[in-house]
Amino acid sequence: MRKIILASLLIVLSYGMASAQVYFEEEEKDSITFKDRLYFGGNFSLNLGNRFTFIDISPLAGYLLTDDFSVGAGINYLYVSRQFVNVFNGDRFEFSNGVYGGRLFARHNVLDDYFAHVEVETVNTEVVEFDISGSRVFRDWVPGFFVGGGLFQQVLGRGGVNVTLLYNLLHEEGRSPYNSAFIFRAGVTF
């Protein structure tokens, strides 16, 4: 009988200690201020070539909803210089373009240094349309929906560097400012 009472007492005490630990962990999480949950940074991409030049500068701001999930927003500025071939008559067409827009993202840490990333964006860019009579260039808003992931390496406190590989599910050749549906980014946060 003593063994049963002792075992019951140990179970109750261990449950109480576990409850206290959870309580203190929740209290510590609640004491994190709004400012401590904010982070800032940006991405930078560069592709220099004869037929395609791409420079992407994209500042961002994010908010940690939990220890491993955050949401945020950013603005995009891209410089794109590219060359097209009209499939109807074979003429080469080249133009340079300043692209601007915005994006919303969500990021979930799946392991210590690895994260999953989803993002929607809309950018205003020059779009090229070809037909038998030639080509036409006009500005239009082009949507993007990116899914992928990356690696975050913490450096100096909360800040760090990250590399991200994304796939644009809405990529359209001739409309999208990106040369491919796959996008590689490098960035920093602090």
63-121 residue pLDDT tens = 999 999 999 999 999 999 988 777 777 777 788 999 999 999 999 999 989 999 999 99
Domain of 9 in residue numbering reads as 1-31
Tell me the per-residue pLDDT of 11-50, one tens digit each, with 9 for 90 and over.
333 333 333 333 334 545 567 899 999 999 999 888 888 7
Q: Which positions ≥6 away from 150 have C-beta within 8 Å?
A: 114, 115, 117, 162, 163, 164, 165, 185
Strand partners, 166: 148, 183
Same domain for 103 and 38? yes
Cβ-based neighbour number of residue 156 at 10 Å: 7
Q: Assess whether 23 and 105 both reside in one domain.
A: no
Same-domain check for residues 165 and 86: yes
Quick one: 106 and 23 in the same domain?
A: no
**47 shares a domain with 25:** no
Higher pLDDT, 57 or 89: 57
Q: 141 with 181, same domain?
A: yes
Q: Kindly report whether the global pTM for this prediction surpasses the value 0.85.
A: no
Claim to verify: residue 23 and residue 60 sit in the same structural domain: no
Number of domains comprising the chain: 2
**pLDDT-derived band of residue 62, with 50, 70 and 90 as boundaries?**
very high
- The answer on 142 and 100 residing in a single domain is yes
